[in-house]
Structure 1
Amino acid sequence: MRITRVLSAALLAVGVAAGPAVADSSPSPSASSDSDAPTQAGTSFRTATEIDQGQQATASGSTGDYLYWSFPADAGQRPDVRATVKLPDSHAAQTWQLDVYDGLRRRQACQYGAQTRTAAQGTASVELACVMRTVRAWSEPWANDPLPGTYYIRLTVVDLTSADLGQPVSAELKVGSKDIGGAAAVDGSLAKPLVPGIAVRSESDEDSSSSTKSAVLSSIEPDDGWSSGWWTDRWVWTGIGGVLAALAGIGGYALTRGHGRPRRVPPGA
Structure 2
Amino acid sequence: MDSTEITIEYLVEKELLHSDTVKKHRRKLERFDQLLLGGERNHAIESQVTTFMTMFTGRLEQVVIEYLCAVAGADFDKDYRSQLQLISGGEFRDDSVTKARRSIDLVVVDRNDDQVPSPGSQHWLPVVAVEAKYGAWVNAGNGYCGFTKEKDRHEDGHLPYSSQAICYPHGCIDKRLDSAKGVRFVWLGEGNPDVDNVGPWGRRGLYSADKNRIPGYDVAFKLQEKAKFIWKPATWAELGAAISKEIGGAEAEAIVRFLRAGGPTAN
**Under TM normalisation by the shorter chain, which class is it?**
under 0.3
Which structure has the highest helix share of the two? Answer: 2
Q: Which has the higher strand share?
A: 1
